[in-house]
Chain A
Amino acid sequence: MSETQIEAGPHDADLAPGDEALDGAGVAQGAWGYVIGLALALGLTAASFYFAGGKLIWAPAIPAALIALAIGQMGVHLVFFLHITTGPDNTNNVLALAFGVLIVFLLIAGSLWIMANLDHNMLPMSRIMAMQR
Chain B
Amino acid sequence: MTAVAHGHADRAPSDGGPASTRIVVGYGFWIFLLSDIVMFSAFFAAFAVLSGNTAGGPSGRQLFDMNEVAAETICLLVSSFTCGLASLAAAARYRFKFYAAMAVTGLLGAVFLGLELHEFIGLVARGAGPQRSAFLSSFFTVVGCHGLHVTVGLLWLGTMMAQVWAKGFRADILRRIMCFSLFWHALDIIWVALFTVVYLMGMVQ
Contacts and interface: CB of A to CB of B under 8 A. Distances in A.
Interface of A: 1-4, 6-7, 11-19, 26-27, 30-31, 34-35, 37-38, 41-42, 45, 48-49, 52-53, 59, 62-63, 66-67, 69-70, 73-74, 77-78, 81-82, 88-89, 92-93, 96-97, 99-100, 103-104, 107-108, 110-112, 115
Contacts of A115: 49
Query: Secondary structure at chain B's binding surface: helix, strand, loop or mixed?
Result: helix
B186 interface: yes
Q: Which of B23, B29, B38, B74 has the most CB of A within 10 A?
A: B23
Band of interface residues on B: 35 or more
Given A14-B23, A100-B34, A111-B49, A41 B77 contact: yes
Nearest to B42: A107
Given A38-B81, A81-B188, A17 B30 contact: yes
Given A3-B20, A34-B85, A53-B203, A107 B49 contact: no
Contacts of B196: 48, 66-67, 69-70
Contacts, number: 161
Contacts of B66: 49, 53
Contacts of A108: 41, 44-45, 48
Sorted nearest first, the 9 A-B pairs with minimum C-beta distance are A16-B26, A100-B34, A111-B45, A70-B196, A13-B16, A52-B200, A34-B84, A104-B41, A17-B30
B165 interface: no
A89 B22 CA distance: 14
A45 B73 contact: yes
A42 B77 contact: yes
Given A38-B77, A96-B31, A96-B34, A112 B49 contact: yes
Contacts of A107: 38, 41-42, 45
19 contacts: A4-B169, A14-B13, A17-B30, A18-B26, A34-B88, A41-B77, A52-B201, A52-B203, A63-B201, A66-B196, A70-B193, A77-B188, A77-B192, A78-B189, A93-B30, A96-B31, A103-B38, A107-B45, A108-B48
